[in-house]
Amino acid sequence: MSKYKVGDKVTIRQWDDMEKEFGLGFGYIACNGCAFVPKMRPYCGKTVEIRWKCSADMHNKRIFRYRIDESPFAFTEEMFEPVKDMSNTTIQEYLDKLCESFSSTKGSIICGGLECEQCREKFGIESDGCPTRLVGLDNEAVKKVMAYQIPKKPILNDSEKKYLESALRPFKDRIGYIAVINWADGKACRSILRVRIDPEEPTYSTNSMIFPPFDEGTMYKGMEIDKRYTPEELGLWR
C-alpha cells in the first residue's frame, strides 16, 4: 500500500541524506528502482504537491512512482519525507527560516519580505514589539504572520517577458509549455528555449519553436533547466 496519494504535500529529501542511505553509482542515487539524478537536485528540500501516481511490480514487489507539480521526473516514496509539522516549531526557528532569503539589520529583521513597521501595519499589530516575539503560536498576531507567504520573484525579467509576449503572441492560445533545455555543442554546454505548440498533437519538429542558443546561465536565469512552464506561470500576457 502506498504511503502517499495525489494531493498530498511532501518534502523532497536532501541529496546527501539519500546518498548516505542508498549510495551513489554512476553519478545518480538508485532509490528502489528509480534514479534520483543530478538534474533533480534543485528539488531537494522543497515542499511540493503530488500530482500523479502509478504503480508497477518489480522483483516481486509493488513499486509506486509519483510526479510532483510540473516536474518531468518520476519520484519514489524513498525520495520523500513528511512535511514538517509547524506546531512544534519555535517562533525563532520559523523566523530564521523566513529570513534565509532576506537580509537583516540591527533592530529591524525582515521576515516574509516585510520590515517590522510594515508587518505591524499589515497585520494590525498595536504592540511596538515584533509579533513573532510574542507569547507563542496560539497568539492571533503570530498566526497571521506565519500564514503570510513570501512573495515570489518573477521568473522572467521585464525584457524577457516583453520579448516572449511579442514573439509568441500569434500562438498564445496553442502553447503547451515553455522550457529551457541544455545541450552540448562540442565545446561547452549551451542552452536553448523550446516552446511546445499544440501539445495534444503527436510530437514532431514542427510542433516546437526553438530559439537561438545562448550560454548557459546568461538568459532566462529564473527558469529551472528542463522544467516545463505554462505561460501563466511565467506571467505572460497578464
Cell of 100: 534565509
**Which amino acid type is present at position 3?**
K
pLDDT tens by residue, 150-196: 556 789 999 999 999 999 999 999 999 999 988 765 556 688 999 99
Residue type, 73: F
The domains of the chain are located at: 9-82, 86-147, 153-238
- What is the distance between the alpha carbons of residues 129 and 131, in angstroms, rounded to a whole number? 6
* 38 phi/psi in degrees, rounded to 5: -55, -30
Is the confidence at residue 11, as pLDDT, over 70? yes
Question: What grid cell was written down for 167?
Answer: 514573439
DSSP-assigned beta bridge partners for residue 76: 65
Using 50, 70 and 90 to split pLDDT, how confident is the model at 199? confident
